[in-house]
Amino acid sequence: MNPSDSLAKSDGSIRPVLPPVVAALFDEDVTDGSAKAYLSDLNHFVEWCQHHGQPVLPCSSLALVQFLTEHAEGYSMATVERRAAAVSWAHRKAGFLGPDNPRTTPVVVECLRLLRRRYRETKQKQARELSTELTRALVDECRDDNNTTLGLRDRAMLLIGFAGAFRRSELVRIAVEDLEWRKQGVEINVRWSKTDQEGRGLVKYITAGQVPATDPVATLKGWLEISGIESGPVFRRVFKDGSVGSTGLSDKAVFNTIKSRMRAVGLEDWDDFSPHSLRSGFASVAAENGASIQAIKGQGGWKSDRTAMRYIRRRDGWESSAASKLGL
C-alpha cells in the first residue's frame, strides 16, 4: 500500500484525513502487520469521532473512554487494547505527548483496567449462532413494529447480514453504489473489511429467497424504495416519526439492534446473541445444508478453512460422534 496522505472512507473511497498520522504508520520501526492493524483501528476511530462530532487530534480523555467502552461490547479485549494503542500512537506522532496524549491520562488507564477485569469475569462467551427458524421469528417481530419504517430497515439489515455473513463494520459501510442487481439477486461489493486492509475488495452474492417474507433481496429493495435512499449509506437511522436520516448507522447501533430484537422475540438467552451471530449462523446453516467449505469461506471472507470452521456450530454432534460407533 502506498502511504498516501489518506484514510479509507466508509464506502471504500479515499478521503484526506490526518496525513502525518497515516504516513507515520509506514515508518521503518513499524512492521507491516502492525501498520495494517493500526490503520484499521484509526479508521474505526476517525469514523467514530465524525459520527459523534468529536475532534480526532487531540481527542479528549472522556471521548476516548466512550470510544473504548463502546468497542468493548462485542470485541475482544485484545482489539480494544490495540485500538487504544493506535490512538495513542497517532497522538504521539502528531506531537501530543504526556498529558496531551489521552491514553496516558488516569481516567483512560482506569477505564482499561476496569474493562480488563470485566473481560476476565465474563470471559466473553462465544456468540450464539442465528438459525433459519430464529431468523423467521426476528422478521415477524420486526414486521409487528409500530414504526413500520424502522421494522423494514431492521428486517433488511438482519436478512442481508445473515445471507451475506456480514461483519457489522461491513454492514454499516454498504452504500447504494456497492449494489449490482442481477437476475439471481444482488451482488454487494465490500470495498474494505477487517481482513482486507489493502482494499482488494470482496463481492458477496445474495440470492433471492424462496419465501417472500424472508427474501433478503426483495426486503432490501423494499427498504430502499420506502426510505427513498438513492445514494450513500444503505442502512441509516430511522426517527420516531418514520423519517430516515442522512448518515449511516454506527457499529454500536447494529449491536444494539441485534440485542433489542433478540430480547423482543422473548428468548431467555437473548444476551448470548450479537452481530457475530449473523456470521456464525450463516456458516452453521450453510454447512448443515451441504454448502462446501470453499463456498462458505468465499461468502464470509475467511482466509483459511480453520478460521471458517470456528464459526460453524455443529448441530449434528451427537449423531456424528465417533464414540457412538464403538458398540458399547
Share of the chain above pLDDT 70, in %: 79
Q: Mean pLDDT of all residues in the chain?
A: 80
pLDDT at 1 over 50: no
pLDDT at 136 over 70: yes
Long-range contacts of range 115-124, CB-CB < 8 Å, 24 or more positions apart?
115/68, 115/69, 115/72, 115/77, 115/80, 116/77, 118/72, 119/72, 119/76, 119/77, 124/76, 124/77
What is the pLDDT, as a whole number, of residue 35? 58
**d(Cα 171, Cα 165) in Å, to the nearest integer?**
10
What is the pLDDT, as a whole number, of residue 199? 56
pLDDT at 24 over 70: no
Q: Which of 118-127, 205-214, 278-287 has the highest mean pLDDT?
A: 205-214
Residue 186 CA to its chain's centroid (Å): 20
Which of these, 123, 147, 41, lies nearest to 85 by C-alpha position? 41
pLDDT at 238 over 50: yes
Which has more pLDDT, 4 or 93?
93
Q: Give me the mean pLDDT over the 265-294 stretch.
A: 84
- pTM listed for this prediction: 0.62
What is the pLDDT, as a whole number, of residue 245? 93
Q: Give me the mean pLDDT over the 156-167 stretch.
A: 93
What is the pLDDT, as a whole number, of residue 41? 79
Per the listing, cell 421494522 goes with: 151
What is the pLDDT, as a whole number, of residue 221? 96
Q: Give me the mean pLDDT over the 39-56 stretch.
A: 82
Number of C-beta neighbours around residue 221 at 10 A: 15
User: Does domain 7-122 bear CATH number 1.10.150.130?
Assistant: yes
Instruction: Using the CB atoms, write b or e for 83-119: b if 16+ within 10 Å.
Output: bbebbbbbbbbbebeeeebbbbbeebeebbeebeeeb
Helix (H, G, I), strand (E, B) or coil at 231: coil
Q: Are residues 87 and 126 in contact, defined by beta-carbon separation less than 8 angstroms?
A: no
Q: Which three cell numbers stand for residue 95?
A: 506531537
Residue 294 identity: Q
Which has more pLDDT, 3 or 199?
199
Contacts of 85 (CB under 8 A, 6+ apart): 38, 41, 103
Range from 101-115, 147-161, 164-178, 279-293 carrying the lowest mean pLDDT: 279-293
For the chain, residues classed under CATH 1.10.150.130 are: 7-122
**d(Cα 133, Cα 174) in Å, to the nearest integer?**
26
- Cα→Cα distances 265→143, 145, 255, Å: 12, 12, 16
**d(Cα 310, Cα 283) in Å, to the nearest integer?**
9
For the chain, residues classed under CATH 1.10.443.10 are: 132-309
Number of C-beta neighbours around residue 168 at 10 A: 24
Class of domain 132-309: mainly alpha
